[in-house]
Amino acid sequence: MVDVEWLVKNATYRPHCYICFTSRSVRFIFSSQQPKPLTNCSSWTLLESLRAKTVNTTDLDNSIMGNLTLFTDKDPEAVYPTQTVVWSIFEETFQAAYGLVTYAPVFKDYFYQGLSQFYMDNVMYLELRAILPEIYDLDGRTYDRAWTLKTCQDISRQFVANHPDFVGVRIIFTAKRLTINTNTMLKVVEEAMKLYRDFPDIMAGFDLVGWEDGGRPLWYYRDALSLPVARGVPLPFFFHCTSITIINQNILDALLFNTSRIGHGFALTRHPVAKEWSRKYGVAVEVCPISNQVLKLVKDLRNHPAAALMSENHPVVISSDDPAIFGAFGLSYDFYEAFVGFGGMRSHVGSLKQLAINSIRYSSLTPEQKEKALSLWQRRWDKFVSENAF
């Protein structure tokens, strides 16, 4: 959510920040005393002490940043030759940052800074996927998902109060498909239903994230995912459907589970019935151009399925997935790639306008909130056009 330079220059310079080194990456933890040893990691070292012994702290900071992003100065095709390789390192970046962003003081500042950076990129409204991790304090005390969601809600309200032209933020609670069995999924969905009931203003719904080809299909969790309907309890779904292998049945199952949007939707063009169904019922496809390139779903964006979907006026929205990990910022980079790569010579200012409108139209906002957001957006759009007219 936040660029890695801020994370390193801000979070890792705070007192009580420890670092240890694995064979592939780094780990962090904040502690008032020497932390307990971590399996497969070197001894914990206080970063403040390590920097005091380091001749060139800039090199050290750059090295740390290198563990938090996939950006490389080398040939990316050589560094990340396959999906398996790039996904493995992609997951490592999350593990490396985990101990930093789950420390309560950093978490609060990190979330506010993330909103600030997207706001600076002229993003007016955010829907974020988050696992809502357990947050910890310096003394080791931990906080549950309800605390995390309440904290996000409080910070969002504070940010809106400070920036009246910002609509707000909502959270899509996620679980990792690679590490969860059916029994645990039942408990997670039950918790998601409770969170959606208790925090309706900020909780948008539920999703499963992670590499689909390395995990289980949606249908494997059908009992848990059918729970909200069986109990008559609302819980919107926003399912990832990335794979183009045999797991592409996820695209069909997502629609059967009444997903509100389809994440990535790379296999949608291979399923004419599903494509027509999603168009008919207004189930937009969330497209992440840079992510799809970096994670090796497509090499040339002109060959991206979204190009065909947009030409057919299928509902499409543009998202940035994990911009900081990809060395990007906000949403503009992905909008640019979509504008140039998907539309080509057919793209014009109206294309950008429609994509921006879609972001609100296919959001989880209520009809009244959408109307208010569109009115606010229209004023800013008119100002943008008048200031850039030739």
Contact 324, 3 (CB under 8 A): yes
| Backbone φ/ψ region at 330: left (φ over 0), alpha (ψ -120 to 50), beta | left
Domain ranges within the chain, ordered by starting residue: 4-93, 134-380
> What was the pLDDT predicted at 250?
86
Contact 236, 206 (CB under 8 A): yes
Phi and psi of 127, rounded to 5°?
Answer: -125, 115
pTM of the model: 0.94
Q: Which whole number is the average pLDDT over 292-309?
A: 92
In the predicted model, what is the mean pLDDT of the chain? Answer: 94
- Is the model's pLDDT at 379 over the cut of 90? yes
Each residue of 83-138: pLDDT tens digit? 999 999 999 999 999 999 999 999 999 999 999 999 999 999 999 999 999 999 99
> What was the pLDDT predicted at 267?
85
> What was the pLDDT predicted at 244?
60
Phi and psi of 214, rounded to 5°?
Answer: -100, 0
Each residue of 243-255: pLDDT tens digit? 666 556 889 999 9
Strands 45-46 and 261-263 turn out to be unpaired
Residue type, 321: D
Q: DSSP labels for 82-139? A: SHHHHHHHHHHHHHHHHHHHTBHHHHHHHHHHHHHHHHHTT--EEEEEE--PPEE-TT
Helix (H) / strand (E) containing 208: strand 203-209
> What was the pLDDT predicted at 359?
97
**Lowest-confidence region among 177-181, 331-335, 349-353, 376-380:** 177-181
- Is the model's pLDDT at 275 over the cut of 80? yes
What pLDDT band is residue 77 in, cutting at 50, 70 and 90?
Answer: very high
CATH class of 134-380: alpha beta
Residue 127: closest CA among 206, 233, 193, 208: 206
- Is the model's pLDDT at 214 over the cut of 80? no
Residue type, 219: W
Each residue of 173-211: pLDDT tens digit? 999 887 789 999 999 999 999 999 999 999 999 999 987
- Is the model's pLDDT at 390 over the cut of 70? no
> What was the pLDDT predicted at 237?
98
> What was the pLDDT predicted at 248?
61
Q: Which whole number is the average pLDDT over 361-389?
A: 94
Q: Which whole number is the average pLDDT over 310-332?
A: 93
Give Cβ neighbours of residue 117 (< 8 Å, ≥ 6 apart). Answer: 1, 2, 3, 329, 330
Alpha-helix runs per DSSP H in the chain = 4-10, 47-53, 57-66, 76-79, 83-101, 104-120, 145-162, 182-198, 222-225, 227-231, 250-256, 272-280, 289-294, 305-311, 332-337, 349-361, 367-387
> What was the pLDDT predicted at 375?
96
> What was the pLDDT predicted at 243?
62
Q: Which whole number is the average pLDDT over 23-31?
A: 96
CA distance between the termini of the chain = 35
